[in-house]
Structure 1
């Protein structure tokens, strides 16, 4: 078994309910033995042009997923869950009903264009680091160090 770190986000529709449903969907995946989820936090929308206070705020959470699914298989399953919740990919970093990202998968590193591990911007996102610290205060991001130190480095 490996522990995958999955970031969840939503800023369209009933975001809190969507995150709850997505967590249930993740728990129901084959070869998933357990899911530990953070509480939901609110964050400002980040667009290609930077933070945008005029966009709907995001509901964000992080889940630790105990799984035997390979990283790419897990990503495909998460993409299916997004699609079932109405995810449309028409604008990069646009508003979305559901966003599920594999942030880390055990100590695996990958430069695959379909799944870069660890997630290339996770260490820059308080809305990923804060919920992750809540459920795993001793976590480290492979190649970058302890999550607590990465969080302290952010403004």
Structure 2
């Protein structure tokens, strides 16, 4: 099993319920087990700022899935929950990003690991620091 760290966010509908449902669905996905969950934090939008504030949290998971099948599973959860990709950095019912997968580095058309902007985003780093301080340090030190 590999270890991975996810960042979740929501700012449409009942954001706390959406995050809780996403965590539940992730934990029920084949080949995935939730190891740790941060608390929820409220954050300002990043990139496109004329939208409601987000609620964010981080998860640490164990997974039997390789990175791209894991991405497929997470995007399927987003789709079932009503995620529509209408606007880059726009509002969303749920957003699930793979922040890091072990210490793997990859850059494909579909997935960059570690996440390209994680080291710049407090809404990713603050919850992640709560459950995985060593991973947070690794992300920030390698992207300066």
Same fold at TM > 0.5: yes
Query: 1:96 corresponds to which residue?
Result: 92
Higher relative contact order (CA 8 A, sep 6+): 2
Once the two structures are superposed, the pairs formed by residues 1-155 of structure 1 within 5 Å of their partners are 1-48=1-48, 52=49, 54-140=50-136, 145=141
CA distance in 1, matches of 2:139, 2:128: 17
* Deviation for aligned residue 1:137: 2.0
Q: Normalising by structure 2, what TM-score?
A: 0.92
> Is there any run of 5+ residues in structure 1 with no aligned partner, and where?
none
CA distance in 2, matches of 1:69, 1:141: 25
Large movers: runs of 4+ above 3 Å:
140-144
CA distance in 1, matches of 2:140, 2:44: 25
Kindly indicate which of the two structures has a greater share of residues assigned to helix: 2
| RMSD over equivalenced CA pairs, Å | 1.9
Q: Secondary structure at the match of 2:84?
A: coil
Change (3 A) 1:129 1:144: closer
Q: Normalising by structure 1, what TM-score?
A: 0.86
* Deviation for aligned residue 1:138: 2.3
Corresponding residue pairs, total: 144
Alpha-carbon deviations, 1:73-132, whole Å to 9, x = none? 110000011011110101111000000001110011101110100100000000000000
Alpha-carbon deviations, 1:34-83, whole Å to 9, x = none? 331100000001234xxx2x421000001001111111011000001101
CA distance in 2, matches of 1:41, 1:129: 11
Change (3 A) 1:42 1:97: same
Kindly indicate which of the two structures has a greater share of residues assigned to strand: 1
* Deviation for aligned residue 1:145: 2.8
